[in-house]
């Protein structure tokens, strides 16, 4: 079995603006950089056994991972540790748009998306099922390559949602049910295709920072 320490990237301005970030390369804002620094500070204090660090190839995850990389593997280069399969979901034509803009410019797509159906994706983007397959193929590959070890994975909220759903067996239909804070610590154990949640949404290292923007899909569901 393999243990994964899963980290969502730190905050970006687009998180604050409730934009679909998707595959757009958005950097961290000042709060996000501080979250990344706090994460590394916690790792430096706790010194968990971590054998490898892998992150998405988008800049917001690389900037989040860099301080922790310097603590855990000071000789490593971040550009050698990225995996594009760990990217956020591709939202197609709405990547980069605020929710209010999507409602106006792509009303039909927005209304269909609100049903949170596994086989629907925004025009030009991935369906949830396609996204889930990409994510879990990457998770199982990483777990197999590093069997018996602990790997820190810095990625995106949607990726963590797919892992949570797999672990809990909740299926791919319906809105997100788990808390996935920026720069929070999450731990899972992977054995074959079984995923077990060990700890989730631990933000003790961020306790005195500004309250995070929360994107609550359960409030958007069509009743």
Q: What is the pLDDT of residues 116-133, one digit of tens each?
A: 999 999 999 999 999 999
82 is in an annotated binding site: no
- Quickly state the pLDDT bin for 55 (edges 50, 70, 90): very high
Known catalytic residue at 23: no
141 is in an annotated binding site: no
Please spell the DSSP secondary structure of 103-128, one letter per residue.
Answer: HHHSHHHHHHHTT--TT---TTS--H
Tokens 């679909």 belong to which residue?
20
Instruction: Please give the share of the chain, as a percent, with pLDDT higher than 70.
Output: 96
Superfamily of domain 2-208: Phosphoglycerate mutase-like (3.40.50.1240)
Residue 216: phi, psi to the nearest 5?
A: -100, 100
State residue 75's pLDDT score.
Answer: 84
The catalytic position among 23, 88, 126, 205 is 88
The pair of structure tokens assigned to 52 is: 């490898």
Please report, for residues 28, 68, 126, the alpha-carbon distance to residue 74 in angstroms, rounded to integers and kept in the order given: 22, 9, 36
On the question of pLDDT at 222 being above 70, the answer is no
pLDDT tens-digit series, residues 85-126: 999 999 999 999 999 999 999 999 999 999 999 999 999 999
Known catalytic residue at 88: yes
On the question of pLDDT at 223 being above 70, the answer is no
């Amino acid at each position: 079995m393999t243990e994964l320490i899963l980290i969502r990237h730190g905050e970006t301005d687009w998180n604050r603006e409730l934009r679909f970030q998707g595959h757009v390369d958005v950097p961290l804002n000042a709060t996000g950089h501080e979250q990344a620094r706090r994460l590394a500070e916690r790792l430096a204090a706790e010194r968990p056994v971590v054998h490898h660090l892998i992150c998405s190839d988008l800049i917001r995850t690389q900037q989040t991972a860099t301080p922790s990389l310097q603590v855990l593997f000071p000789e490593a280069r971040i550009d050698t540790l990225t995996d594009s399969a760990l990217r956020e979901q591709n939202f197609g034509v709405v990547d980069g748009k605020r929710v209010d803009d999507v409602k106006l410019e792509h009303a039909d797509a927005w209304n269909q998306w609100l049903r949170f159906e596994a086989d629907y994706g925004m025009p030009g983007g991935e369906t949830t099922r396609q996204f889930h397959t990409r994510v879990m193929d990457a998770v199982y590959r990483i777990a197999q390559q590093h069997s018996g070890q602990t790997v820190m994975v810095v990625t995106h909220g949607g990726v963590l949602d797919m892992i949570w759903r797999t672990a809990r067996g909740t299926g791919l239909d319906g809105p997100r049910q788990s808390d996935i804070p920026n720069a929070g610590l999450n731990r899972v154990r992977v054995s074959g295709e079984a995923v077990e949640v060990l700890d989730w949404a631990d933000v003790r290292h961020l306790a005195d920072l500004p309250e995070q923007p929360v994107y609550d899909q359960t409030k958007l569901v069509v009743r």
